[in-house]
Structure 1
Amino acid sequence: MKLLIKKLKKLMNRSKNDSIWLRFCGWILIFSCLISFHSFPVRAEAYRCVDVQEKRIALSFDDGPHPRLTPKILEILKRYNIHATFFMIGKNVRDYPETAKLVAKDGHEIGNHTDSHIRLCGLGKKRVERELEECSLQIQKVCNQTPGLFRPPEGAVDTAVLSAANDKEYRVILWSIDTRDWESKNEGAIVRRVLSSVKPGDIILMHDFISYNSKTPEALERLIPKLLARGYEIGSVGELLRIGS
């Protein structure tokens, strides 16, 4: 970009006899290049769902690991031979390394959910990069996985977040179904929320680190057989992306 602008300036100033109109057009061209360069620096995209032909959906769990909830969820998934995606917070991996290891041992996909679970919008690219790097280091150290998927806290993204994720070669993953398990005290409501809108390619959001009144394991226990009865295959986000591509 800098080289292009330099050449344009040189072309515009090469002769004192150049018309004012030519110079004006040249400056307009430079201005347009600058606007385009600064307005569209990001190639990353955020996936809410995946375009698939098969009846495939993905299960994802945010905010863990947690020694009370995560093992219960793992036991249910193992019983149905389902692999899911766990978007882990770096701090929780440090606090509960043995629980994090259980997730990896069971063959689940582990994603980056930042180191501190801070809302990233407005923080700037360098802070976002630090959050990604610290979380990734913890996951690599404890789980022996290098995460390739990233879910921003609260699903909040701006240009800096997408740019940092792009530079770190992450796929940004949001969701198409929010179970709102973090606020629901009734597992039936969580199950109905999913079943009322589920469709092929959906990415379902649940949590394995919320209040001690969490009904996520109970809801998952009821939800999985109902989804299977409808003919859905359930897997990780990575599996869904591979099928979609």
Structure 2
Amino acid sequence: MNLFSRKAILTITVLAILFSLGAQTGYTREKNRKYFEERGEAVWEVPTNQKVIALTFDDGPNPAYTPRMLDLLKKYDAKATFFVVGSRVNKYPELVRREIMEGHEVANHTYNHKYFTRMTPDSIKNEIKLAEDAIVKATKRRPLLFRPPGGIYNETIINSAKELDYLVVMWSWHQDTRDWRNPGVKRIVNKVLKNARRGDIVLFHDHGGNREQTIKALEQILPELTQRGYTFVTVSDLLQLRSNLKVDN
């Protein structure tokens, strides 16, 4: 038996042992984006033949920035989705009510903005339910969409949200503005405008630091995309416009 054959046999043996251990411990490979999209359990963007984009804002409401963003959205007849944090909803319920009154969508972003990397399903569901209770108390409406903090997702997180009748909504990978890092107005604007496609879900923040750059960027993004013929819709409305047609921007 030559050296190559011995190495091949050793490799096959090791793989067989690892497979056996995996079967015994119940280990499964982590599911990816495609898996959850195909099952309809999570959304990153929506294929559509209509020229629509969904703007989303995380972590609010914030009394200094949310009202100014709402004013801008109103100016351009743009509807958006606000993924709110329950503890902040309890502090500023009037802002969440304004979002609803002006035709925007309010969605669940947990109660304390905790990252779910090491949390049990019960703890995850508790965070979601507490936020839901705060939203319902403020608006008399139950949210339908959920976004996990940090965009962290796995089977446990998505299944926990699903058990509470939520659809997990992420964002288009090419439309992560990273505005929370204050990268500069120009970078935020270019990120959105240079990558704009039909059915995009764009990520912004209305809390979590100084959001002046986000506001200044929106002052350029909203009129430019409006001029290009885009309509700004809520995520739920975007989901209703799903199409199997090839998208052509």
Please tell me the TM-score bracket, short chain as reference. 0.7 to 0.9
Three-state SS of the structure 1 residue aligned to 2:168 is strand
1:100-179 residue pairs with structure 2 within 5 A?
100-176=96-172, 177-179=175-177
Map of 1:184 onto structure 2: 182
Map of 1:26 onto structure 2: none
Q: 1:213 to 1:157 in 2, by over 3 A?
A: closer
Gaps of 5+ in 1: 1-31
Tell me which stretches of 4 or more aligned residues in structure 1 moved more than 6 Å.
none
Aligned partners of 1:200, 1:219: CA distance in 2, in Å? 20
Gaps of 5+ in 2: 1-22, 244-249
1:1-245 residue pairs with structure 2 within 5 A?
45-176=41-172, 177-184=175-182, 186-212=184-210, 214-244=212-242
Aligned partners of 2:73, 2:193: CA distance in 1, in Å? 18
Three-state SS of the structure 2 residue aligned to 1:244 is coil
Map of 2:15 onto structure 1: none
Aligned partners of 2:159, 2:209: CA distance in 1, in Å? 33
**Distance apart, 1:185 and its partner CA:** 5.0
**Distance apart, 1:165 and its partner CA:** 1.0
> Which whole-Å deviations, capped at 9, do the CAs of 1:89-119 have from their partners, x for residues lacking one?
0011012222222212212100000001011
Larger displacement relative to structure 2 (83-92 or 44-53): 44-53
Three-state SS of the structure 1 residue aligned to 2:209 is coil
Three-state SS of the structure 2 residue aligned to 1:182 is helix
Aligned partners of 1:136, 1:213: CA distance in 2, in Å? 25
Aligned partners of 1:205, 1:191: CA distance in 2, in Å? 12
Aligned partners of 1:170, 1:57: CA distance in 2, in Å? 21
Compute the TM-score of the two structures, normalised by the length of structure 1: 0.81
Aligned partners of 1:212, 1:154: CA distance in 2, in Å? 18
**Distance apart, 1:213 and its partner CA:** 5.3
Aligned partners of 2:101, 2:53: CA distance in 1, in Å? 22
Aligned partners of 1:213, 1:72: CA distance in 2, in Å? 10
**Distance apart, 1:44 and its partner CA:** 5.6
Aligned partners of 1:235, 1:173: CA distance in 2, in Å? 14
Q: 1:70 to 1:213 in 2, by over 3 A?
A: closer
Three-state SS of the structure 2 residue aligned to 1:78 is helix
Aligned partners of 1:148, 1:100: CA distance in 2, in Å? 15
Three-state SS of the structure 1 residue aligned to 2:56 is strand
Query: What CA RMSD, in Å, does the superposition of the two structures yield over aligned residues?
Result: 2.4
- Amino acid in structure 1 at the alignment position of 2:222: I
Contact 1:185 1:213 survives alignment (8 Å): no
Rg comparison, structure with higher value: 1
**Distance apart, 1:243 and its partner CA:** 0.7
Q: Give the % identical residues.
A: 38
Aligned partners of 1:49, 1:121: CA distance in 2, in Å? 24
Aligned partners of 1:230, 1:95: CA distance in 2, in Å? 38
Compute the TM-score of the two structures, normalised by the length of structure 2: 0.79
Aligned partners of 2:187, 2:91: CA distance in 1, in Å? 31
Contact 1:191 1:222 survives alignment (8 Å): yes
Number of paired residues? 213
Three-state SS of the structure 1 residue aligned to 2:179 is coil
Three-state SS of the structure 1 residue aligned to 2:212 is coil
